[in-house]
Amino acid sequence: MKRSIALALACLACLATAPAPARADAGALALTAPSAVLMEKSTGTVLYQQDAHTQYEPASVTKVMTLLLVMEAIEAGALSWDEMVTASAHACSMGGSQIWLKENEQMSVADMVKAVAVASANDCAVALAEHIAGSEDAFVQRMNQRAQELGMEHTSFLNCTGLPAQGHVSCAYDIALMSRQLILYHPAIRAFTTIWMDSLRDGQFQLTNTNRLIFYYEGATGLKTGSTDTALYCLSATAERDGMELIAVVMHAPTSDDRFDSARTLLNYGFANYALTPVYPDQAIPPVPVLLGQADTVQPMLARDCVLLLGKADGGTVTTEVTLADQVEAPVEAGQKLGQMTVYVDGVEADVVDLVAPAAVERLTVGSIFRELLDGLFLRAS
């Protein structure tokens, strides 16, 4: 049996909105870049798009995927920050943006990630790739596999640097997908992507971030620039304000200034028009009785945070409805579903969050049941 408890939340000054693709492609924003996407990090919602699925060369924005695989290797324990990486002749031969590694020079993973994130170092990107996968080709196979897993349908990687190669292509939407994966699940990368100036080799080699937004855009958190003669100017820019982080991807901009101006326009649009609003029940959720449990009740909790992406210009009402089981029988496992909270915006369902047990409740043993009976008898006798 179920019981429903309607828990009304206070009226909020926002309404959840799904950006219309027609509006996103209508050219409402003054962008000089032909291809662009604006995505909100936590929900993955596309807030604006313009020619988002056309393939272009991504140049060094490719390194977002390289950094993602490095971070995933660290998270998996297959790589550590202080591990030393030895530069191969192949890595040192890359050209383009680099820190001029010498063959057999050793540098820590942390320093190489810094060089890639701040200075777009091709030599360090290849050295990391070889260290993780044994060769750049093997690493590129992993890049393409990960791209498929993320739904990057218009992307084909041929190297880990973004140096020109026929058939090495991506699109603004795909770049937003991999950028979101990196910043959402590996926030430690921000320690590198927010660096404006730093150094390597005991201060003897100076680094300056290729992403000028880090210097002058409020809340900028990253992420990666790219440019070649054929790719023109590309950028995956991330910024956070009031707890909301946005991803602005720009491809094939005619000049460096154009890519930064276009990214700034996208970010300004997002911050001006949208906000993240956390949703909670406005009353305490009652405990659920436990039959034959070592505890009489279990207190439900939200299985995850509930946050709505809401349009600032629209007014509406957010309400919740909590549904709980009348009772559960022990044993109760930690994380066991006890009910759910359904979230509505102006009466339209916007989210459903499970309510779960925060800790296990063990079942009473025969001995403990017998002791409880005896305790009850003694209490009645007294």
Q: What is the pTM of this model?
A: 0.83
Average pLDDT, integer, range 324-345: 95
pLDDT band at 283 (very low <50, low <70, confident <90, very high): confident
User: Which residue type is seen at 92?
Assistant: C
Instruction: Give the whole-angstrom CA distance, residue 123 versus residue 66.
Output: 12
Residue at token pair 């910043």 = 183
Pairwise CA distance, residues 354 & 336, whole Å: 9
What pLDDT score does 282 carry? 76
Lowest mean pLDDT among 156-170, 205-219, 310-324: 310-324
Predicted pLDDT of residue 202: 93
Mean pLDDT, the chain, integer: 90
Lowest mean pLDDT among 46-55, 101-110, 343-352: 343-352
The pLDDT, as a whole number, for residue 14 is 31
Distance CA 301, CA 293 (A): 19
- Pick from 5-14, 15-24, 149-158, 276-285 the range whose average pLDDT is largest: 149-158
Compute how many other C-beta atoms are within 10 angstroms of the C-beta atom of residue 189: 23
Residue 6 pLDDT > 90:
no
φ, ψ of residue 243 to 5 degrees: the values are 80, 0
Summarised one tens digit per residue, pLDDT across range 289-298 is 999 999 999 9
Q: Which of 7-11, 187-191, 220-224 has the lowest mean pLDDT?
A: 7-11
Task: Report which residue type is found at 166.
Answer: Q
pLDDT score of 381: 59
Catalytic entry in 41, 63, 114, 224: 63
Is the previous residue joined to 355 through a cis bond, with omega within 30 degrees of 0?
Answer: no
Q: Collect all residues with Cβ–Cβ distance below 8 Å to 361 and sequence separation of at least 6.
A: 290, 293, 294, 295, 298, 330, 331, 332
For residue range 127-169, list pLDDT tens digits in order: 999 999 999 999 999 999 999 999 999 999 999 999 999 999 9
The pLDDT of residue 107 is above 70: yes
Judge contact between 109 and 80, C-beta under 8 A. Answer: yes
Residue 354 CB partners (closer than 8 Å, separation 6+): 302, 303, 304, 337, 339, 340
What is the predicted pLDDT for the residue at 217?
97
- Give me the pLDDT at residue 313, please: 83
Q: Evaluate if residue 367 carries a pLDDT over 70.
A: no
Where does the pLDDT of residue 31 fall: very low under 50, low under 70, confident under 90, or very high at 90 and above? very high
26 has pLDDT over 50 = no
Distances from the Cα of 144 to the Cαs of 44, 121, 175, 274, in angstroms? Answer: 21, 21, 13, 33
Beta bridge partners of 244: 241
| Average pLDDT rounded to a whole number, residues 81-87 | 98
Rg of the chain's alpha carbons, rounded to an integer? 26
Helix then strand then coil, % of the chain, to nearest 5:
30, 30, 35
Task: Write the pLDDT tens digit of every residue in 32-75.
Answer: 999 999 999 999 999 999 999 999 999 999 999 999 999 999 99
Cβ proximity of 117 and 192 under 8 Å: yes
Q: Of the listed 35, 88, 97, 120, which one is catalytic? A: 120
Question: Which one of the listed residues 35, 41, 60, 97 is annotated catalytic?
Answer: 60
pLDDT recorded at residue 277: 87
Specify whether 60 is catalytic.
Answer: yes
The Cα–Cα gap between 161 and 127 comes to 11
**Angle between helix 63-75 and helix 122-133 axes, rounded to 10 deg:** 40
pLDDT level of residue 376 (50, 70, 90 thresholds):
low
Q: Sorting pLDDT into bands at 50, 70 and 90, what band is 78? A: very high
Q: Is 63 a catalytic residue?
A: yes
Q: How does residue 315 score in pLDDT terms, banded at 50, 70 and 90?
A: low
Note the pLDDT of residue 284: 86
Q: What is the mean pLDDT of residues 324-332?
A: 96
pLDDT at 379 over 80: no
Report residue 191 CA to chain centroid gap: 15
- pLDDT cut 90: percent of the chain above it: 82
Residue 27's pLDDT band (cuts 50, 70, 90): very low
- Residue 312: per-residue pLDDT: 86
Q: Are 326 and 286 in contact (CB under 8 A)?
A: no
Question: What pLDDT sits at residue 317?
Answer: 84
